[in-house]
């Protein structure tokens, strides 16, 4: 009686398997026997004369005869593993940061927080990817003679846009967004941190702070947490694919390490039924983007990561170890955004059933 149809299903496309959790709080243990029915296209929970049913989204079809490992965990609910009849459709491949900009097209850069125009009607003659941020440190490994690039720098000219892992480099031109106190670039309207001045004629805009649209397009606002999640996930996927690296340090523009992230997989599909959980004030993982039009059951593509916070000297030894590991890739964002991301990760963790929130010493 305490379940009210709320469930969470974590699907792995690669293995065509799913973990299904029928959720209820510890204080809501049903007094009467509970009957759980798993069908190919729906789920049912019967208890004490009531029946809660939920239809599965299109493309998600279960193999009921494969159910195994049924167990009840206090505070979680009922856990069961089940196979899929077929793999759900693959996630739409997001347009990468490098593919989003094309030469000889005009673009407008908007502040993601308030929508104010930051760079107006800029046409790029060249859109070029930058090497990894630590490329100059590796030159000694490439060259048998003194560093030939020691006195050169990668600064964009007026018609250039250089793209790094987490930022765009533009020639400053006539833009005047500099703060008088330091080299930070701020939004004139909302005072959000957009980037920093990389040199006297170069501005670095962070990908988490600006939205780039073709001049003929229009600005469409996106909830902040949704935007940050999407951009960071995209960075992790691009780098893991291009460099086969799966561990990342999230650093602030002040040089401090805020988070250690270990990418587990990117083929996860989450299916969540809110049931009556919203009436209990529970935080749901994607509450900021679940709209009534989504219906009672929502689906989301997700990347699954392990992470460790590093603020207030937490996990310092592990952070130092990762810092000296060539297999760990650093990602730099504004310090405020690092704290936002840490909050998003924390809320994500607490939205999961307690037994799924940790793996070894990491949070999920």
SS3 string, the chain, reads CCCCCCEEEEEECCCCEEEEEEECCHHHCCCCCEEEEECCCEEEEEECCEEEEEECCCCCCEEEEEEEEEEEECCCEEEEEEEECCCCCCCCCCCCCCCCCCCCCEEEEEECCCCCEEEEEEECCEEEECCCCCHHHHHHHHCCCCCCCCCCCCCCCCCEEEECCCEEEEECCCCCCECCCCCEEECCCCCCEEEEEEECCEEEEECCCEEEEECCCCCCCCCHHHHHHHHHHHHHHHHHHHHCCCEEEEEECCCCEEEEEEEEEEEEEEEEECCCHHHHCCCCCCCCCCCHHHCCEEEEEEEEEEEEECHHHCCHHHHHHHHCCCCEEEEEECHHHHHHHHHHHHHHHHHCCHHHCEECCEEC
Residue 320 within a domain: yes
User: Looking at the structure, do residues 117 and 202 belong to the same domain, yes or no?
Assistant: yes
Residue 261 within a domain: yes
| 39, 69, 77, 297 from 34: Cα distances, Å | 16, 17, 11, 22
User: Looking at the structure, do residues 335 and 252 belong to the same domain, yes or no?
Assistant: yes
Which residues constitute the domain of residue 34?
Answer: 7-86
User: Looking at the structure, do residues 239 and 317 belong to the same domain, yes or no?
Assistant: yes
User: Looking at the structure, do residues 177 and 140 belong to the same domain, yes or no?
Assistant: yes
User: Looking at the structure, do residues 145 and 185 belong to the same domain, yes or no?
Assistant: yes
Residue 219 within a domain: no
Per-residue pLDDT of the chain (364 residues; tens, 9 = 90+): 344 458 899 999 999 999 999 887 555 556 677 788 999 999 988 877 788 888 998 889 999 999 999 998 888 889 999 999 988 888 776 556 667 788 999 999 999 999 999 999 999 999 998 887 666 666 667 778 777 766 667 789 989 999 999 999 999 875 555 544 458 999 999 999 999 998 888 999 999 999 999 998 888 888 999 999 999 999 999 999 988 899 999 999 999 999 999 999 999 999 998 654 433 334 444 445 443 334 578 888 999 999 999 999 899 999 999 999 989 999 999 999 999 999 999 999 998 999 999 999 999 9
User: Looking at the structure, do residues 300 and 209 belong to the same domain, yes or no?
Assistant: no
Domain boundary among 214, 248, 275: 214
User: Looking at the structure, do residues 199 and 240 belong to the same domain, yes or no?
Assistant: no
User: Looking at the structure, do residues 181 and 114 belong to the same domain, yes or no?
Assistant: yes
User: Looking at the structure, do residues 77 and 121 belong to the same domain, yes or no?
Assistant: no
pLDDT at 280: 36
Cα 46 from chain centre = 36
User: Looking at the structure, do residues 254 and 359 belong to the same domain, yes or no?
Assistant: yes
Residue 148 within a domain: yes
User: Looking at the structure, do residues 25 and 62 belong to the same domain, yes or no?
Assistant: yes
Domain total in the chain: 3
pLDDT at 264: 96
293 φ, ψ (degrees, to nearest 5): -70, -15
**CATH number for the domain that contains residue 47:** 2.60.40
Residue 93 within a domain: no
pLDDT at 227: 93
Residue 78 within a domain: yes
Residue 224 within a domain: no
Residue 273 within a domain: no
User: Looking at the structure, do residues 56 and 126 belong to the same domain, yes or no?
Assistant: no
């Amino acid at each position: 009686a305490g379940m009210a149809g709320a469930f969470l299903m974590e699907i792995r496309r690669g293995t065509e398997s799913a973990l299904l959790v029928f959720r209820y709080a510890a204080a809501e243990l049903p007094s009467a026997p509970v009957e759980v029915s798993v069908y190919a296209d729906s789920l049912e929970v019967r208890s004490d004369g009531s029946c809660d049913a939920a239809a599965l989204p299109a493309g998600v079809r279960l193999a009921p005869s494969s159910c195994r490992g049924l167990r009840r965990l206090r505070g979680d609910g009922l856990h069961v593993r089940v196979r899929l009849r077929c793999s759900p459709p693959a996630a739409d491949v997001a347009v990468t940061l490098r593919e989003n900009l094309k030469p000889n097209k005009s673009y407008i850069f908007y502040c993601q927080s308030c929508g104010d125009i930051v760079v107006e009607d800029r046409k790029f003659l060249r859109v070029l990817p930058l090497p990894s941020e630590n490329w100059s440190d590796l030159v000694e490994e490439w060259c048998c003679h003194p560093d030939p690039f020691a006195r050169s720098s990668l600064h964009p000219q007026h018609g250039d846009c250089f793209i790094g892992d987490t930022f765009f480099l533009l020639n400053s031109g006539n833009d005047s967004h500099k703060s008088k106190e330091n080299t930070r670039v701020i939004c004139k309207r909302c005072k959000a941190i957009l980037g920093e001045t990389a040199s006297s004629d170069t501005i670095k805009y962070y990908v988490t702070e600006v939205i780039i649209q073709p001049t003929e397009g229009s600005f469409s606002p996106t909830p902040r947490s949704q935007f940050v999640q999407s951009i960071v996930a995209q960075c992790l996927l691009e780098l893991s694919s291009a460099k086969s690296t799966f561990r990342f340090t999230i650093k602030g523009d002040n040089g401090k390490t805020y988070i250690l992230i270990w990418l587990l997989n990117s083929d996860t599909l989450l299916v969540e039924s809110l049931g009556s959980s919203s009436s209990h004030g529970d935080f749901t993982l994607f509450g900021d983007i679940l709209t009534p039009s989504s219906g009672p059951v929502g689906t989301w593509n997700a990347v699954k990561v392990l992470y460790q916070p590093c603020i207030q000297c937490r996990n310092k030894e592990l952070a130092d170890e990762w810092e000296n590991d060539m297999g760990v890739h650093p990602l730099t964002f504004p310090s405020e955004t690092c704290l936002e991301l840490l909050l998003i990760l924390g809320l994500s963790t607490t939205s999961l059933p307690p037994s799924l929130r940790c793996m070894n010493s990491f949070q999920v």
